[in-house]
Amino acid sequence: MNTLFFRCKVLLMCLVFNQTLLANNQNLRLIVRMDDCYVSADSKTVRIIRLFEKHKTPINVGIIPFKNPADTLNPIYRSRYAEIFVHGYKHEKEGNDEFTGLSYLKQRDKTQRGKHLLESKGIYPCCFAPPWNGYDDNTLKALEKSDFLIISANEFGPKNNSKIKYVPSTCYSVKKAIEVLEKESLFNGIIVLLIHPYEFNSDADFELLEKLLIFINKNNIQTRYFSNLNSLDENITAKRLEYHHYPLFYLLRKYDILGFNHTVYYEMGSLITVNIIEWFLLLIISLFGHLKYINKLKLYVSITTGIILLLVVIIFYSYKSDSYRWVLLYKTSVIALFIWLNHRLINRKKLKAAQAT
Ligand SMILES: [Zn+2]
């Protein structure tokens, strides 16, 4: 047991050491998602787009299809550096937000009409971002039917449609994005920066945005369109989003431990590593509890414990929830079941050996 603890300590020390030694801002990439742009652009939107053009940097622009009358001279459509995604329908609330709780048919009608309007202008958006980041299972079904490939909301919406891919926003201020990039990271990931034209109220706000663009160009940080992510070498399936809510990863990001932080959408490699460490830690804790208590159980108590554990695993498995507490309980019950099984097998072996002598 002591050796196990020692190895864990060494592993953690290596990670901390690597964080200072191998951290690099090129491990991070950037997606800029600008919501709330109307079909006819306003002066703030245009000024932001001009900045991205000046620094030859991609920006994703969210159009609200039925907010204003269409304007074909809109500079958003003409920019070489702006990729358009659909941001809702009219951006008007029907209940909590524009989509959540509405029937599938109603949602399908809204998503299809928005897409068709842009297609009539020769624009073929692949990504949809719901207003107020609000959506439900029916929205995912409607998006699938309307041939959208990606949804970009926040991290906490449903993700049980395997036909749709997920790129949630993770960072909500230009200042924070600069801070994270300057701090560098040991792990690969994407900062999904969400901005709105109405947040830019003074020259200083535009200057800060330009500072970000200069920084990313100087440091060769890659910026992406949503459509770039929909390729084979980038895993943006629901699994990636799900891993972000696994208990250990959730805590590491929440408290900025080992260089992880909540403004980055990490790649599968680091997620799987943390997932393995999580299983390993749970195993150690469970083994410790086992040696201390379970070993001393009488046969009938042990059998009852086994049955309860099996039932708990089945219940946790069938009621899939993404909350990190649920995942933690599920993993712990799986480990406890294996330890119990191992314990029973050892006891049987002992019993047989005793009978043989
Ligand atoms: Zn919006």
HEC string of 278-329?
HHHHHHHHHHHHHHHCHHHCCHHHHHHHHHHHHHHHHHHHHCCCCCHHHHHH
Positions in the chain whose pLDDT score sits under 70 = 1-23, 39-41, 68-75, 232, 289-297, 320-323, 357
Q: Is residue 127 part of a domain?
A: yes
d(CA 117, CA 24): 42
First to last CA, the chain: 31
Co-location of 72 and 151 in the same domain: yes
Neighbours of 80 (CB within 10 A): 8
Same domain, 222 and 306: no
58 and 141 co-located in one domain: yes
- Whether 129 and 39 share a structural domain: yes
The whole domain housing 341 covers 293-356
Is 185 found in the same domain as 318?
no
Q: Of 11, 108, 60, 77, give the one whose Cα is nearest residue 228.
A: 60
Contact 49, 62 (CB under 8 A): no
Residue that finishes a domain, picked among 202, 219, 234: 234
How far does residue 129's CA lie from ligand 1's centre (Å)?
Answer: 8
35, 59, 80, 125 from 72: Cα distances, Å: 19, 19, 15, 16
326: in domain: yes
Residue 252 lies in a domain: no
Angle at 62 between CA 57 and CA 65, to 5 degrees: 140
Q: What single-letter DSSP state applies at residue 83?
A: E
Query: Ligand 1 centre and the CA of 105: distance in Å?
Result: 22
Position 13 scores a pLDDT of 65
- Whichever domain contains 215, its CATH number is 3.20.20.370
Tell whether 110 is covered by a domain: yes
Contact 118, 124 (CB under 8 A): yes
* Same domain, yes or no: 229 and 299: no
Residue 251 lies in a domain: no
- 285 C-alpha vs ligand 1 centroid, how far in Å? 45
> Distance, CA 126 to ligand 1 centroid (Å)?
18
Give 3-state DSSP helix, strand, coil % of the chain, rounded to 5.
55, 10, 35
Q: Do 112 and 199 fall within a single domain?
A: yes
How far is it, in rounded angstroms, from Cα 88 to Cα 254?
Answer: 30
E strands in 131-282? 150-151, 165-166, 189-195, 265-266
Quick one: how far is CA 352 from the chain centroid? Answer: 51
Cα of 309 from ligand 1 centre, angstroms: 46
CA 196 to ligand 1 centroid distance, Å:
8
Question: Among 183, 216, 234, where does a domain finish?
Answer: 234
Q: 132 CA distance to ligand 1 centroid (A)? A: 6
Whether 137 is in a domain gets the answer yes
User: Is 184 in the same domain as 67?
Assistant: yes
Residue 258 lies in a domain: no
Of 234, 265, 284, the domain-final residue: 234
5, HSE (Cβ side, Cα atoms, 13 Å): 5
CA of 100 to the centre of ligand 1 (A): 14
Shared-domain flag, residues 210 and 328: no
- Cα–Cα distance between 151 and 129 in angstroms, integer? 6
**Cα 154 to middle of ligand 1, angstroms:** 12
Mark whether 40 and 115 lie in a shared domain: yes
Q: Count Cβ atoms within 10 A of the Cβ of residue 124 and give its class: 0-12 exposed, 13-18 middle, 19 or more buried.
A: exposed
Distance 235 CA to ligand 1 centre (A): 26
d(CA 129, CA 63): 10
Within a domain: residue 169? yes
* Claim to verify: residue 218 and residue 318 sit in the same structural domain: no
Q: At 92, give phi and psi (nearest 5°).
A: -125, 140
**CA 131 to centroid of ligand 1, rounded, Å:** 4
Cα torsion at 43, 47, 52, 58 (round to 10°)?
-10
**Count of structural domains, the chain:** 2
DSSP bridge partners of 191: 30
Same domain, 228 and 305: no
